[in-house]
Amino acid sequence: MRILYFVNTAWYFDLHWIDRVNKLVIEGHEVHLVTTFSDNRIKEKIEAKGIECWDLNIDRFSINLVSNAKLLIEFHKLIKKIKPDLIHTITIKPNIIGGFIARMNKVPQIISIVGLGRVFLSDNYLKKLIGLFYKAILFNNDNIQMIFEHAADKTAILNMSNISPGKLHVIDGAGIDVEQFPYYPEKCGTTTNILFASRLLKAKGLELLVESVRQLKNEGLPLELLVAGISDDEDPDKIPIDLIEEWSSRELIVWLGKRNDVDALLKNCNIMVLPTKYAEGIPRIILEACSIGRACVVGNMPGCQSVISDKINGMVLKKHSVDELKECLRFLVENPDVRKEFGIRSSQLIKDKFSKDIVINKTFQVYKQALINKDLI
């Protein structure tokens, strides 16, 4: 089988999809990746896995008709050159552009909805336009399957289109390697270490967390807020790096920068916090934290609630307020035995539902359904 993946950025593909795709390569399938490569080291790493890479300039946030028409034409040229048996698109712009091209060329397509995105949080013209594009792609399309990370997004698509429910599949997250992220009892000392590790976006809730920790420290609680993250300069919702450095200089946070040793960071923390309002899929950092056995405080979003049940294996914010987050943190700091119990439950949940092998097998079942009339996989 010749499968083509189309995604906004190479780093996202490397972080979330490389394990699933690597199994395809090992089984002898031909795999192509079309994306934007801003870091040549990531391209070399992906190519070393046996994946053929095609660099395409994708402006994730541009709504300019000319630039997007050019992107559609360039992707169409690549389809003609590669001649894939299956196209798997991930994230909004590749889903839409890939959807029109796949439909035009009658190529089976998998659309992955890894969260509907911030555009669906407000009722504006862009949300309506994207909704219309999805309707056009899905209307009476027998060559399409869709994968969601949680049921809320699946329901949203069902409500906006006439697609058959049998073409919609919920697969829980990116899949965690439980051998890389095994249960690891937390180290309890005089100071409680709180970790935030995510893209540095306002919607992820870091500003809320910094203020909550600041107030708790002023009240005498021995806390340390460790912050690791990726600065996404292209995103209009970014937290300026100058502000991060200011927090660090005022000792409100310990700034760790971009890190590749997330497992080590999680082992050295006591609580993982992601007070997000971001309409994403299931945050990978939450899955990794749970696998290692850390109590998590998360935002009241469907992706987070797919993993964290309030006061069962973590805490879920209802109002996203400083006072609410302070009380959640205070409770976990003062009750280490509860933290431990939350972590044990979470680690078992990952093994039972969110492990890499489970996710890979479910993904391949969708591929088989998409290629039901072809003996390719």
How many residues make up the chain in this entry?
377
Mean pLDDT of 206-221: 97
Chain segment 127-168, per-residue pLDDT in tens? 788 888 889 999 989 899 999 998 888 998 888 888 889 999
* φ/ψ of residue 127, rounded to 5: -60, -45
Chain segment 327-347, per-residue pLDDT in tens? 999 999 999 999 999 999 999
- Cα–Cα distance measured from residue 273 to residue 304, given in angstroms and rounded to the nearest whole number: 11
Q: Residue 208: which pLDDT band, with cuts at 50, 70 and 90?
A: very high
pLDDT at 77: 96
Q: How many CB atoms lie within 10 A of CB 224?
A: 16
pLDDT at 120: 66
What percentage of the chain reaches a pLDDT higher than 90?
73
- Cα–Cα distance measured from residue 331 to residue 315, given in angstroms and rounded to the nearest whole number: 10
Phi-psi region of 311 (alpha: psi -120 to 50; beta: other; left: phi over 0): left
Least confident of 27-31, 129-133, 247-251: 129-133
Phi-psi region of 170 (alpha: psi -120 to 50; beta: other; left: phi over 0): beta
Q: With 80 as the cut, is the pLDDT of residue 285 above it?
A: yes
pTM for the structure as a whole: 0.90
Q: With 70 as the cut, is the pLDDT of residue 377 above it?
A: no
Least confident of 74-78, 130-134, 303-307, 319-323: 130-134
pLDDT at 375: 58
CA 94 from chain centre, in angstroms, equals 15
- Cα–Cα distance measured from residue 306 to residue 296, given in angstroms and rounded to the nearest whole number: 13
pLDDT at 221: 96
Q: With 70 as the cut, is the pLDDT of residue 118 above it?
A: no
- Cα–Cα distance measured from residue 176 to residue 285, given in angstroms and rounded to the nearest whole number: 10
- Cα–Cα distance measured from residue 292 to residue 313, given in angstroms and rounded to the nearest whole number: 13
Mark 292-322 as b/e (b = at least 16 C-beta within 10 Å): bbbbbbbbbbbbbbbbbeeeebbbbbeeeeb
Q: Residue 121: which pLDDT band, with cuts at 50, 70 and 90?
A: low
Mean pLDDT of 172-191: 92
Find the DSSP H helices in the chain: 10-16, 18-26, 40-47, 65-82, 92-105, 125-138, 151-160, 206-218, 241-249, 262-267, 284-292, 302-305, 322-334, 336-349, 356-370
CB 276 within 8 A of CB 117: no
Q: With 80 as the cut, is the pLDDT of residue 95 above it?
A: yes
Q: With 90 as the cut, is the pLDDT of residue 310 above it?
A: yes
State the chain's mean pLDDT as an integer. 92
Least confident of 42-56, 72-86, 362-376: 362-376
